[in-house]
Structure formats: structure tokens, C-alpha cells
């Protein structure tokens, strides 16, 4: 599984999906992170200010965040110098 996320809400949703796939509750994830369940709820909703800042910074810098399983084989290629980030010349 891999997913490109563009904003804090999508990143939080990805965290929630991954947690559910592993059969974890929000409380269990909170315990692992040494935070309370409310923090996990806010994280999964994309409501943490740090997430908004991170995603805004990546956007300003013209970057995307990609979440992939650790066991996934990821191949990244750089675009041609004359090509825009969207693939248009």
C-alpha cells in the first residue's frame, strides 16, 4: 500500500487507516505514542497544528508526502530539468 497525501486531513486519514489495518484501537496507539486518546483523535482528523505546518511547508516547497509500507520497494526518479513537477513541459 502506498498513498500520496496533500494535506493534514489526508495524512491523518492515512494514520487512521494504517492503525485499523493493524487492528489497533486509538487507545492502544495513544499508549504507544505516550499521549492521550484525544491527541490520536486530533492526529487522525488532521487537526494538529504541527501537521498543518508540515503539509503547508511541503506544499510551498513543491513536494508531496508519500506513505508506503516499510516492506514496499519504492523507486523514485527525478524529473527532467526542463519538466514541471506536474509532468508538463
74 lies in some domain = no
- Give the pLDDT confidence score for residue 88 in this predicted structure: 56
Asked whether residue 20 is assigned to any structural domain, the reply reads yes
Q: The whole model's pTM is what?
A: 0.76
Q: Going from the first residue of the chain to its last (89 residues), give the mean pLDDT of each consecutive group of 10, the final group possibly shorter.
A: 87 94 97 96 94 91 88 83 62
Report the domain count for the chain. 1
> Which residue bears the cell 520497494?
73
> What's the CATH code of the domain at 21?
1.10.260.40
- CA distances, 24 to each of 50, 54, 87 (Å): 23, 25, 39
Domain contains 52: yes
Q: Which residues contact 40 (CB under 8 A, 6 or more apart)?
A: 26, 27, 29, 30, 33
Amino acid at each position: 500500500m502506498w498513498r500520496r497525501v496533500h494535506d493534514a486531513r489526508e495524512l491523518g486519514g492515512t494514520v487512521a487507516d494504517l492503525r485499523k489495518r493493524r487492528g489497533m484501537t486509538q487507545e492502544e496507539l495513544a499508549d504507544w505514542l505516550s499521549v492521550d486518546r484525544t491527541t490520536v483523535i486530533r492526529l487522525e482528523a488532521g487537526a494538529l497544528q504541527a501537521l498543518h505546518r508540515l503539509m503547508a511547508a511541503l506544499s510551498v516547497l513543491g513536494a508531496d508526502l508519500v506513505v508506503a509500507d516499510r516492506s514496499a520497494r519504492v523507486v523514485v526518479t527525478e524529473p527532467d530539468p526542463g519538466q514541471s513537477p506536474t509532468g508538463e513541459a
